[in-house]
A and B are shown apart, each in its own frame.
Chain A
Amino acid sequence: MTVVEQTVVESRPMGDTIGIPFIDNAKFSLRNVDVFYSDKQAIFNVSLDIGKNEVMAMIGPSGCGKSTFLRCFNRMNDTIAGCRVSGSLKLEEQEINHPKTDVVPLRARVGMVFQKPNPFPKTIYENVAYGPRIHGLVSKRIELDEVVETSLQRAGLWDEVKDRLDAPGTSLSGGQQQRLCIARTIAVSPEVILMDEPCSALDPIATARIEELIAELSENYTIVIVTHSMQQAARVSNRTAYFHLGKLIEVNDTEKVFTNPGHQLTEAYITGRIG
């Protein structure tokens, strides 16, 4: 089982990340985060703020810890045996990492979209209705219909599926399935959406749709996206964080990262050099 610890040492330095990791009015404030898989340390003393309605992209080579770090944001690491997270992870005033934090409402506040679209083996309607129903967000069928319609509209899928809401979710194309998963995520009115490589299984057109959607969603939600596509990070995000071997090397405005990065490792990665 995962052991969740709180070992915040006030005087501990906040890593040696360069750029602008800290901002005012942060939605997430993460301080001195370490993550271990059994004895192996995967994340080393990462401190970072993520702003309200900000799109934060996390990039870095495979195995650099960006997905591991993303999974700390809604305690998805709890499901991994031997995984231990320490440090302070605050979603506004709530300490995510506290043993008494209930992960069910936490995950309603912090939704997640995965690499491969994973609709439930249910109808399109039920895929979206499931969350609001189990969280008790709606009491009447008419309200539920409304939530389903709004969520599908926000995910840019409504027009394509409104005539076949009873068809199985799995009957949709890959890009549509991913938008269905996004609709499912936003149906429970989260504050934050985490996206772990949401477009890596999609073609360029479906990818462009999702990216367009990210831009629209960022007006209402905070979005944290892990991506292997540097161009995607450059297109969709406001700030970009570069991870290397479990360390947060640089956080800067996306424009700065892609035109004049401050750290040599960031430069080497985004320009395809031997780092």
Chain B
Amino acid sequence: MDKLNLDQHISRQYNADLEDLRTELLEMGGLVQEQVRDSIAAISNADAELARRVIVVEDEVDSREVALDEHCTLVLARRQPAASDLRMVLAVSKITRDLERMGDEARKVAKMALALVEDGGNGQGYVELRHLGNSVLHMVDDMLNAFARFDVDTAMSVAKEDKLVDQEYKSATRELITYMMEDPRSISRVMNVMWALRAIERIGDHARNIAEHIIYLVKGLDVRHTSVSEMERQVNESGQQAS
């Protein structure tokens, strides 16, 4: 049952409640997406102004998390949702938490950007940052698209991208260690870059978690803690059953 038909309830108010949840989540997702993009740009371009803005937006993201949680609680109490509606409310509640944590990680990247600027250095020249940042941004875009369209294929591609991001992160770490070995004076600066990379990699992990929640929402499959190939197998199997 790929189509969720959220607007097909007998109660129009119920349709509106669920549609509001979806819209609010997408808005929050948009904010976090911007935060992630800005934090990566801030650290790559040594832009302190942009980094400060990322830190300020964090409050807005937090208050959206609280509002969405409240909204989910209300729908649960008022409507006692079942089946796809229940999965929708549960998924929104979980996705909200992952989005908020993505925001936290973006804030960490922004703080590292500020530390680098204060040090007098910048993240420029660290191609690893730019590279990993681009990959993770791509994941975040895909993840939001997957939610907006309840699209399992796109959610699957996010999970696959995360595997690549993890590999890139490992090789970037090795690369940065060589910089520190070559020039011990760079250690504190490179460590900051390393923390930023770690935060960016964690953003990718949260995007993957959200992709898993989307698969749960659309297919009713719990694919947490499974490998990408196992996820793929389960999704394909359920697709065959439905057809």
- Number of cross-chain contacts by CB at 8 Å: 45
Interface residues of A in 229-257 (CB under 8 A from B): 230-231, 234, 257
Check A271/B80 contact, CB under 8 A, given A259-B220, A260-B220: no
Contact of A272 among B9, B220, B241 (CB under 8 A): B9
A257 to B86, CA, bound (A): 12
Contact of A271 among B83, B220, B241 (CB under 8 A): B83
* Interface residues contributed by chain B, number (CB under 8 Å): 18
B25 → chain A closest CB, angstroms: 19
B127 → chain A closest CB, angstroms: 45
Residues of A within 8 A of B5 (CB): 268, 273
Residue of B10, B14, B83 with highest tally of chain A CB at under 10 A: B83
Contact A272 B11 (CB under 8 A): yes
A270 to B241, CA, bound (A): 21
Residues of A within 8 A of B11 (CB): 272
Contact B14 A270 (CB under 8 A): no
The verdict on B209 contacting chain A, using a C-beta distance below 8 Å, is no
The verdict on A9 contacting chain B, using a C-beta distance below 8 Å, is no
Contact B10 A267 (CB under 8 A): no
Residues of B within 8 A of A272 (CB): 9-11, 14
Residue of A257, A259, A261 with highest tally of chain B CB at under 10 A: A259
B216 → chain A closest CB, angstroms: 9
Residues of B within 8 A of A267 (CB): 1, 83-84
The verdict on B100 contacting chain A, using a C-beta distance below 8 Å, is no
Residues of B within 8 A of A260 (CB): 83-84, 87, 219-220
Check A259/B14 contact, CB under 8 A, given A267-B1, A273-B8: no
Closest to B216 in A: A260
Residues of A within 8 A of B14 (CB): 272
Residues of B within 8 A of A234 (CB): 82
A242 → chain B closest CB, angstroms: 11
Contact A268 B8 (CB under 8 A): yes
B1 → chain A closest CB, angstroms: 6
Residues of B within 8 A of A274 (CB): 8-10
Check A270/B82 contact, CB under 8 A, given A259-B87, A264-B1: yes
Residue of A260, A266, A267, A271 with highest tally of chain B CB at under 10 A: A271
The verdict on B30 contacting chain A, using a C-beta distance below 8 Å, is no
Interface residues of B in 66-108 (CB under 8 A from A): 80-87
A268 to B82, CA, bound (A): 10
Check A271/B85 contact, CB under 8 A, given A231-B80, A259-B220, A264-B1: yes
A16 → chain B closest CB, angstroms: 15
Check A261/B83 contact, CB under 8 A, given A267-B1, A272-B14: yes
Residue of A231, A257, A260 with highest tally of chain B CB at under 10 A: A260
The verdict on A258 contacting chain B, using a C-beta distance below 8 Å, is yes
Check A271/B1 contact, CB under 8 A, given A259-B220, A260-B220: no
Residues of B within 8 A of A270 (CB): 82-83
Residues of A within 8 A of B220 (CB): 259-260
Residues of A within 8 A of B85 (CB): 271
Residues of A within 8 A of B83 (CB): 257-261, 266-267, 270-271
Closest to B8 in A: A273
Closest to A261 in B: B83
Residues of B within 8 A of A259 (CB): 82-83, 86-87, 220
A274 to B220, CA, bound (A): 21
Closest to A262 in B: B241
Closest to A258 in B: B82
A234 to B1, CA, bound (A): 21
Question: How does the 8 Å CB contact mask read for A172-187 relative to B, with 1 for contact and 0 for none?
Answer: 0000000000000000
Question: How does the 8 Å CB contact mask read for A37-63 relative to B, with 1 for contact and 0 for none?
Answer: 000000000000000000000000000
A266 to B219, CA, bound (A): 15
A119 → chain B closest CB, angstroms: 32
Q: List 11 A-B contacts (CB under 8 A).
A: A230-B82, A231-B80, A258-B83, A259-B87, A266-B83, A267-B1, A267-B83, A271-B85, A272-B9, A272-B14, A273-B5
**Residues of A with Cβ closer than 8 Å to B?**
230-231, 234, 257-262, 264, 266-268, 270-274
- Nearest first, the 9 closest Cβ-Cβ pairs linking A and B are A260-B220, A273-B8, A270-B82, A258-B82, A271-B85, A267-B83, A271-B83, A272-B9, A272-B10
Taking A267-B83, A271-B81, A273-B8 as known contacts, 5 extra A-B pairs with beta carbons closer than 8 A to each other, sorted by chain A number, are A258-B86, A259-B87, A260-B87, A268-B5, A273-B9
